Amino acid sequence: MSLNKKSVDDINVKGLRVLCRCDFNVPLKDGKITDENRLVAALPTIKKLIADGGKVILCSHLGKPKGEPKPELSLAPVAKRLSELLGQEVKFAADPEVVGPNAKAAVAAMKDGDVILLENTRYRAEETKNGEAFSKELASLCDVFVNDAFGTAHRAHCSNVGVAQLVDTAVVGYLMQKEIDFLGNAVENPVRPFVAILGGAKVADKLNVINNLIEKCDTLIIGGGMAFTFVKAQGYEIGKSLVDDEKLDYCKEMIAKAEKLGKKLLLPVDAVCVKEFPNPIDAKVDTIVCDIDAIPADTMGCDIGPKSAALFADAVKAAKTVVWNGPMGVFENPTLAEGTLKVAQALADTDATTIIGGGDSAAAVNQMGFGDKMSHISTGGGASLEFLEGKELPGVAAANDK
């Protein structure tokens, strides 16, 4: 997949109708937006299109209406809030079929610099199946297509891939460009030494990522629940810790692969263990710290220990590029968050390019107050993972190459 894509900076949309696919999949409570980060993140691209004098038609999905109109998942509140953020009206086209009479009339009446927002693209069942009829309807509204929704880039839907294939000019917005610059290039063309840190619960979720990153990075660090399958694969007892017994052979293969390729694979050397998993998740727990070869049979590891945290932090100090996906332990619990905190601190303190691959690690870094110290925090969960796997992302591939 070429990562050299045309962006909004390579075109001028003056007088043209521009369909811009954004990620307005925001949390709503009683019709109010509870976190507007995604709206704020979309503003630079929208403002650029307005400043160029384009006729800006925004579209997005919200939640999972499963192909039918659900009033509680309408984008109407988003249009209202965007109007306030942009300081100009964002006209909402309230068509349950998305491209309906309201949308068509609103687009026909547009002047340069006007903005309208279409209804939730997932009100249409064809959206997630990339059905041709809906793609054609979307394409009929515009001269140019801009994709700025990285969170859905790993899916081929009408509003990001189908429509892109039906217009002559399809480019990426600033958010997508940033993801390509950081995540895509970090993996394909990193400044070395390149250190990758993987955490989270299950090995199964990250099989392809582990395999791809061992080939690409200089040092691979594995923490979180998934580390215990690797620890067991090394022949140690892990008590009641999370384990994926079906993946033990895979872990052995990866340990051997790292050795063969001359890559450093760092696994925890100690763990913070508890007798019972905290319930609720942030409940007080009694912990013991033990070396990785001495985990008591009646306990489970729920965080990396202090020696592991120091070992991982040292590896980060020497790096020029660091990619991190997945927490080091049960970071939702203050007692079991220390390992994740120390790794986040190490990333905050380094001059290396630091990239957080979405999902729980993004939540952890922001929660711990290190967000502004990272070079890039990815906005995609699944899309980020597939980028780290080295997969082609349909939403990126569909944009015109430079």
Structure tokens at 30: 């009683």
Q: Convert 330-369 to b/e letters by CB count within 10 Å (16 or more is b).
A: bbbbebbbbbbbbbbbbbbebebbbbbbbbbbbebbbbee
pLDDT level of residue 276 (50, 70, 90 thresholds): very high
pLDDT score at 359:
77
Count the domains in the chain. Answer: 2
Query: Among the listed ranges 76-85, 188-197, 320-329, 351-360, which one has the minimum average pLDDT value?
Result: 351-360
Instruction: Please tell me whether residues 136 and 266 are part of one structural domain.
Output: no
> Taking residues 224-247, what's their average pLDDT?
96
Whether the ω angle into residue 268 lies within 30 degrees of 0, i.e. cis, is no
End residue of a domain, out of 177, 206, 236: 177
The rounded distance, in Å, linking the Cα atoms of 126 and 37 is: 28
Contact 106, 91 (CB under 8 A): yes
pTM: 0.89
Picking from 150, 177, 204, the residue at the C-terminal end of a domain is 177
CATH number of the domain residue 53 falls in = 3.40.50.1260
Annotated binding site for substrate: 23-25, 38, 61-64, 122, 155
Look at residue 340 and give its three-state secondary structure.
Answer: helix
pLDDT at 84: 98
Answer whether residue 394 is part of any domain: no
Statement to judge: residues 266 and 124 lie in one domain: no
Tokens matching residue 385: 């993972």
As annotated, the binding site for ATP includes 206, 301, 332, 358-361
Q: Which two tokens stand for residue 342?
A: 């120390």
Q: What is the Cβ-side half-sphere exposure of residue 310, based on CA atoms within 13 angstroms?
A: 5
Verify that 269 and 292 share a domain, yes or no. Answer: yes
pLDDT tens digits along 108-161: 999 999 999 999 999 999 999 999 999 999 999 999 999 999 999 999 999 999
- The gap from C-alpha 229 to its chain's centroid, in whole angstroms, comes to 25
pLDDT tens column, 195-210 = 999 999 888 888 899 9
Q: Are residues 202 and 300 in the same domain?
A: yes
**SS3 of the chain: helix, strand, coil, percent, to 5:** 40, 15, 40
pLDDT of 1 over the 70 cut = no
Q: Does the pLDDT of residue 358 top 80, yes or no?
A: no
Inside any domain, residue 265: yes
pLDDT digits (tens, 9 = 90+) for 251-273: 999 999 999 999 999 999 999 99
Is 398 a member of any domain?
no
Q: Kindly state whether residue 49 falls inside one of the protein's structural domains.
A: yes
Spatial distance between the Cα atoms of 214 and 65, rounded to a whole number of angstroms: 39
User: Would you say residue 399 lies in a domain?
Assistant: no
Asked which of 177, 198, 229 is the last residue of a domain, the reply is: 177
Amino acid at 45: T
Residue 321 lies in a domain: yes
One domain for residues 94 and 205: no
Nearest 5°: the CA angle 61, 42, 39 is: 65
Residue 154 confidence (pLDDT): 95
Residues shown for the chain: 402
Q: How many CA atoms lie within 13 A of 144 on its CB side?
A: 21
The whole-angstrom separation of Cα 152 and Cα 383 is 7
pLDDT tens readout for residues 115-127: 999 999 999 999 9
pLDDT of residue 205: 85
The reply to whether 345 falls in a domain is yes
CA angle 198, 311, 351 (to 5 degrees): 75
Task: Tell me which residue range forms the domain holding 273.
Answer: 190-388
Exposed / middle / buried, residue 135 (Cβ in 10 Å: 0-12, 13-18, 19+): buried
- Enzyme catalytic residues: 38, 202, 359, 382
- Would residue 393 count as lying in a domain? no
Where residue 363 falls among pLDDT bands split at 50, 70, 90? Answer: confident
Q: Which DSSP symbol is given to 235?
A: T
Q: What is the mean pLDDT of the chain?
A: 95
Q: What are phi and psi of 373, to 5 degrees?
A: -95, -5
> For position 45, what pLDDT does the model report?
98
Q: What is the pLDDT of residue 184?
A: 87
Residues belonging to the binding site for (2R)-3-phosphoglycerate are 38, 122, 155
Do 235 and 351 have their domain in common? yes
- Tens of pLDDT, residues 51-82: 999 999 999 999 999 999 999 999 999 999 99
